[in-house]
């Protein structure tokens, strides 16, 4: 996280939100398939094999004692009517992009931390003297309404504290931690609760007689540096609630286009083979557009014959291209229009005329 470090930046003047989706993978499947809602459900590496490992458990599954990292057969012993689903990265990216679209409606300054987490700098809208709770609740409702999943929100005066408290009242919780509340609410907690404090750091600290976050915060700085070096310093600053790193909007790469192409060992003559290859390209282009939070309004395909002659066709479209299915359909149209019908060895798709995500992009019917 050092690339965010800016020692000359002044502290935030308003509230920072850390938003974290509740049981994200499981929630995506439940939002996609209403029949699963409220059901004990897990996402597991290989649901057909009983030894698959659980990646995420829905809250009803957690109530049966099922945890991330557990083996499926152990989970089935605890809960015989448990539903196990295999991970679907496309689905998660789609929901992540939709969630991000809601975030950027609430703040201009959004920094994604992972597929299901982001910081929002609310300073331009909410000073320290204003009550951030109604705004956080409105944001939760907007995500639930537009995306169909729940987020928990941590609110504090900087990024690290907001991240620290976002899971204090999961699921569907909002936790507000004011700077003056650190001694009462943060410091009594075990040091292992500190973001970035793994089991080995916690063990080392325990060996020094340091059990709580408050203990660590009260240590003399030279001692922390001597014993723990750089990592210790980071933990120490977090324990003291000191963090001036800005919420940073990822620099949008100055991209003009996104493409994917595939070559094959053998000639492609068959319509179905060509279709499968175009679909593969469309899916890769779709992922890249989603991770860039961009859509495109021009599509091109290219193909190369066995004799290394390259051809191409392109067209403009009026509906924004971002979903695999739309990109595939447009590419297929271009492919069907070609006059050149020699067997090919390479197929590719490029989407250009890129633009940011439209505010009201419908991701699902």
Residues near Mg ion, by CB under 5 A = 20-21, 24, 116
Q: How far is the CB of 230 from Mg ion (least distance, A)?
A: 27
CA 162 – CA 175 distance, rounded (Å): 9
DSSP per-residue codes, 231-242:
HHHHHHHHHTT-
**Based on CB atoms, which residue is closest to Mg ion, 116 or 284?**
116
What are the DSSP calls for 152-209, one per residue? Answer: EEEEESSHHHHHHHTTTT-SS-EEE--GGGIIIIITTSBGGGSTT--HHHHHHHHHTT
Q: How far is CA 234 from CA 11, 163, 176, in A?
A: 17, 14, 22
3-state secondary structure 54-120: EEEECHHHHHCCCCCCCEHHHHHHHCCCCEEECCCHHHHHHHHHHHHHHHHHHCCCEEEEECCEEEE
Residue with Cβ nearer Mg ion (96 or 323): 96
Give the burial string for 143-170 (b: 16+ CB within 10 Å, else e).
Answer: beebbbbbbbbbbbbbbbbbbbbbbbeb
Quote the least distance from Cβ 172 to Mg ion, whole Å.
12
CA distances from 214 to 190, 192, 198, 222, 237 (A): 9, 12, 17, 17, 12
> For Mg ion, which is the closer residue by CB, 21 or 300?
21
> 78 with 64: CB under 8 angstroms?
yes
CB of 113 to Mg ion, least distance (A): 10
8 Cβ neighbours under 8 A, 6+ residues apart: none
CA quadruple 128, 218, 189, 20: dihedral positive or negative?
A: positive
Smallest gap from residue 154 Cβ to Mg ion (A): 12
**CB of 188 vs Mg ion, minimal distance in Å:** 25
Min separation Cβ 68 and Mg ion, Å: 11
CA 143/CA 21 separation, integer angstroms: 10
Closer Cβ to Mg ion, 21 or 143, answer by number? 21
Residue 184 C-beta-side C-alpha neighbours within 13 Å: 5
Residue 236 CA, chain-centre distance (Å), reads 27
Q: Active-site residue 117, yes or no? A: yes
Catalytic residue among 32, 111, 117, 340: 117
Nearer to Mg ion, 92 or 328 (CB): 92
Q: Which is nearer to Mg ion, 41 or 289 (CB)?
A: 41
Q: CB of residue 116 vs Mg ion: minimum separation in angstroms?
A: 4
Starting from the edge strand earliest in sequence, which strands make up the sheet with 344-356, in order?
257-268, 344-356, 294-305, 310-321
Q: Which is nearer to Mg ion, 116 or 243 (CB)?
A: 116
Residues annotated as part of the active site:
117
């Amino acid at each position: 996280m050092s690339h965010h470090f800016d020692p000359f930046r002044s502290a935030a003047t308003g509230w920072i939100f850390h938003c974290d989706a509740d049981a994200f993978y499981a929630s995506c499947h439940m939002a996609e398939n209403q029949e699963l809602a409220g059901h004990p459900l897990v996402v597991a590496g290989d649901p057909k094999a009983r030894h698959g490992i659980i990646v995420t458990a829905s809250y009803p599954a957690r109530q049966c004692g099922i945890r991330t990292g557990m083996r499926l057969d152990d989970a089935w012993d605890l809960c015989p009517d448990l539903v196990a689903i295999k991970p679907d990265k496309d689905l998660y990216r789609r929901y992540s992009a939709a969630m991000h679209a809601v975030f950027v409606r609430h703040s201009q300054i959004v920094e994604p931390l992972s597929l299901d987490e982001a910081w929002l700098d609310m300073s331009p809208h909410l000073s320290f003297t204003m009550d951030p709770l109604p705004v956080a609740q409105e944001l939760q409702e907007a995500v639930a309404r537009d995306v169909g999943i729940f987020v928990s929100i941590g609110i504090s005066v900087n990024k690290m504290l907001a991240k620290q408290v976002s899971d204090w009242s999961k699921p569907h919780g909002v936790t507000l931690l004011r700077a003056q509340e650190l001694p009462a609410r943060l410091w009594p907690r075990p040091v292992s609760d500190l973001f970035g404090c793994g089991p080995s750091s916690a063990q080392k600290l325990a060996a020094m007689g340091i059990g709580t976050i408050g203990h660590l915060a009260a240590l003399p700085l030279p001692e922390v540096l001597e014993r723990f070096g750089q990592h210790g310093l980071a933990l120490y600053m977090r324990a003291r609630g000191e963090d001036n790193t800005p919420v940073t909007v990822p620099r949008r790469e100055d991209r003009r286009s996104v493409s994917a192409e595939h070559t094959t060992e053998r000639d492609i003559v068959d319509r179905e083979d060509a279709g499968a290859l175009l679909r593969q390209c469309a899916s890769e282009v779709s992922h890249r557009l989603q991770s860039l939070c961009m859509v495109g309004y021009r599509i091109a395909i290219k193909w190369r014959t066995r004799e290394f002659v390259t051809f191409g066709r392109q067209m403009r479209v009026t509906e924004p291209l971002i979903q695999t299915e739309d990109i595939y359909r447009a590419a297929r149209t271009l492919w069907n229009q070609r006059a050149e019908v020699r067997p090919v060895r390479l197929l590719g798709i490029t989407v250009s005329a890129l633009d940011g995500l439209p505010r009201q992009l419908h991701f699902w019917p």
